[in-house]
Amino acid sequence: MEHILVVTLIIGGTAFLSLPLGTYMAWAMDPGSTSPRGTRFTTLFERVGGAGATAGQSWQRYLATLLVFNVVMFSVSFAILTLQQHLPLNPDSKGALDPTLIFNTAASFTTNTNLQHYSGEVTMSYLSQLAALMWLQFVSAATGIAALAALARGIAGRETIGNFLIDVQRASFLVLLPLALLVAPAMVLLGVPMTLQGAVQATTLDGAVQTISRGPVAAFMTIKQLGTNGGGFFGPNATHPLENPSFWTNALAMIAIILVPMACVWMFGRIIGRMRHATVVFAVMTLFLLVKIGAAVTFESAPTAALTDLPVAESSNLEGKELRFGATTGPLWAVLTTSTSNGSVGAMHDSLNPLTGLVPMAGMWLNATFGGVGVGMINMFLYIIVAVFVAGMMVGRTPEYLGHRIEAKEMRLAVLALFAHAFLILGGTALFAATPWGQSAVQDAGAHGFSEILYEFSSAGANNGSGFEGLGDGSWAFNIATGIVMLLGRFLPIILPIAIVGSLMAKRRAVESCGTLGVEDTTFGSMLAITVVIFGALTFLPAAALGPIAEHVSLP
């Protein structure tokens, strides 16, 4: 019963909030020339940006600017992390970091992944946490929202797709910052710490000495969730009682995880002027989300397998879970955080029952059932292109999407992007499963160890950031390999879809007629869902069989 209540509260409540937010985001990202306040902000952002932030850009130029800005993001954070031991705001005297870890961490936070091969309270100074990592949590999320706005403008048939440096400021200052200023104070009032004082030594009742790490957690954990970043202030992320002290911070965090990804679908619909189409896409995404939640909650209600022969009271699997969140939220969070490329964890995923662990992996493989802020909808756009093309072929007509002709060139780019996602995950997994780089890092040999490697590369490729943390992933080999996978897994699925839109913009747009394939009805919704399952999920079925499914059938 409480399962249904919690899911209704979180999913229903957030879906309800996402609609007005999507309308607001469409205004914030794409104010048009008729909104005087929007024009004032645009003028301000032009002034801040200077020469490179004045005019509309071609799609090639937009992407070039996006990449230049991301190089700046990477370089600034790399410099701060490298120098942290010499910089201020380091009350606990954190030392120098390993160079491959710095590369991995800068790549991870620049790409909105937040895969963490370190433990925040052990490794990072407060300055590194705030000025390197939290800064990237804002601007990497803003990069994704900007890219979606550009994509939507192209589909809407505007003259240009916009200016990246204006878009990234709109997303940072008008979308993410106001949301963070609403949510972070609520987190503070619900008990999340926010201090610049260093760790404290406590003398426990039983006479031991306990070091308790603290920090500016509330500000950090808020944007971590809102921007689908997911990187924890503390090592164990949102299971840590100082990062997530109660049921209510946990519930608010789950809402924050899916709010902006949901609103992005509505923003897309508003900018292209096709809200009925957005509704169909939203419905398909919600359907996948609910199926995954149902599966995960059911699988996780089974007891911990290792305890079956002992005199232990009947219970759901509590290994790696915190009691204050209740029984539903471990698996629910696991689904939300991997459906959205967030990657924060509210329970230890490595200790999930094997089939439950498969559900987050499936979420990362699809990466479009809401997906990351901005980029989730962009990934779904790829599936839409494929679905439209296949549907057009089935009825023997030139495939059109909202009057744009989808031809061989667009299909090639879409399939390349979808294939790259699968190749990065499966190629990385195969390489590490076959070599000592991976074999010596797993916690148990066999199916579970394979799952650990598969999960790690799925997480890097999908820019998720969660992990089966029993894996010893702090080695140079994992740092470099996942760093490269994260960078390719981030920028290919931004560059290729925008190139598709650039190609569509160069063609004459056909007039939609009654013969055009409709994208606003249940037929199209079913077609889209089938495409996602066939292209997204079936690619990974063999790997799933070797990992979590093999582990499940071998359970005692």
User: Is residue 88 part of the contact set for other proteins (CB under 8 A)?
Assistant: no
Which member of 306, 393, 434, 510 binds other proteins (CB under 8 A)? 306
CB of 341 to other proteins, least distance (A): 20
Tokens of 483: 């760093």
Greatest alpha-carbon pair distance for the chain in Å reads 79
Dist CA 360 CA 55 (whole Å): 42
User: Is residue 117 part of the contact set for other proteins (CB under 8 A)?
Assistant: no
Between 77 and 379, CB nearer to other proteins: 77
Count of residues in contact with other proteins, rule CB under 8 A: 120
Residues 392, 398, 404, 408: is their CA dihedral positive or negative? positive
CB of 423 to other proteins, least distance (A): 28
Between 23 and 301, CB nearer to other proteins: 301
CB of 9 to other proteins, least distance (A): 7
Closest by CA position to 333, among listed 231, 227, 256: 256
- What type of residue is 434? A
Residue 489 near residue 461 (C-beta atoms within 8 A): yes
Closest by CA position to 25, among listed 199, 222, 225, 267: 267
User: Is residue 134 part of the contact set for other proteins (CB under 8 A)?
Assistant: yes
The total of other beta-carbon atoms located within 10 Å of residue 556's CB is 6
Residue 242 near residue 220 (C-beta atoms within 8 A): no
User: Is residue 551 part of the contact set for other proteins (CB under 8 A)?
Assistant: yes
Q: Which of residues 228-267 bind other proteins (CB under 8 A)?
A: 234-236, 239-242, 245-248, 251
Tokens of 421: 């996602």
User: Is residue 212 part of the contact set for other proteins (CB under 8 A)?
Assistant: yes
The DSSP output letter for 173 is I
- Span interacting with other proteins, options 50-58, 368-376, 382-390, 508-516, rule CB under 8 A: 50-58
- What type of residue is 482? T
Q: Per-residue string for binding with other proteins, 139-168, x by CB under 8 A?
A: x--x----------------------x--x
Closest by CA position to 305, among listed 356, 244, 266, 254: 356
Q: Which of residues 340-369 bind other proteins (CB under 8 A)?
A: 345-348, 350-354
In what helix (H) or strand (E) does residue 400 lie, and over which residues does it extend?
strand 400-401
User: Is residue 533 part of the contact set for other proteins (CB under 8 A)?
Assistant: no
CB of 448 to other proteins, least distance (A): 5
Between 104 and 317, CB nearer to other proteins: 317
Between 320 and 493, CB nearer to other proteins: 320
What are the residues whose beta carbons fall under 8 Å from the beta carbon of 360, sequence distance 6 or more? Answer: 296, 334, 335, 337, 338, 349, 352, 455, 466
CB of 43 to other proteins, least distance (A): 14
User: Is residue 30 part of the contact set for other proteins (CB under 8 A)?
Assistant: no
Between 130 and 382, CB nearer to other proteins: 130
Dist CA 527 CA 535 (whole Å): 12
CB of 172 to other proteins, least distance (A): 5
Residue 354 near residue 555 (C-beta atoms within 8 A): yes
Angle among Cα 304, 305, 309 to the nearest 5 degrees reads: 105
User: Is residue 406 part of the contact set for other proteins (CB under 8 A)?
Assistant: no
User: Is residue 498 part of the contact set for other proteins (CB under 8 A)?
Assistant: no
Q: Which of residues 61-80 bind other proteins (CB under 8 A)?
A: 64-65, 68-69, 72-73, 76
Q: Which of residues 449-478 bind other proteins (CB under 8 A)?
A: 468-470
The tally of CA atoms less than 13 A away on the side-chain side of residue 186 is 15
- Span interacting with other proteins, options 191-199, 287-295, 420-428, 481-489, rule CB under 8 A: 191-199
The residues pairing with 211 across neighbouring beta strands, listed in sequence order, are 201
In Å, how far are 137, 315, 378, 552 from 229, measured between CA atoms?
6, 32, 17, 30
Dist CA 312 CA 319 (whole Å): 13
Q: Which of residues 500-529 bind other proteins (CB under 8 A)?
A: none
Between 66 and 102, CB nearer to other proteins: 66
Which member of 444, 509, 510, 512 binds other proteins (CB under 8 A)? 444
User: Is residue 530 part of the contact set for other proteins (CB under 8 A)?
Assistant: no
Q: What SS3 state is found at 404?
A: strand
Dist CA 551 CA 436 (whole Å): 21
- Span interacting with other proteins, options 45-53, 146-154, 256-264, 421-429, rule CB under 8 A: 45-53
CB of 18 to other proteins, least distance (A): 21
Which member of 36, 88, 95, 311 binds other proteins (CB under 8 A)? 311
Q: Where would I find the beta strands (DSSP E) of 68-218? A: 200-203, 209-212
- Span interacting with other proteins, options 207-215, 256-264, 376-384, 422-430, rule CB under 8 A: 207-215
Between 217 and 278, CB nearer to other proteins: 217
CB of 509 to other proteins, least distance (A): 30
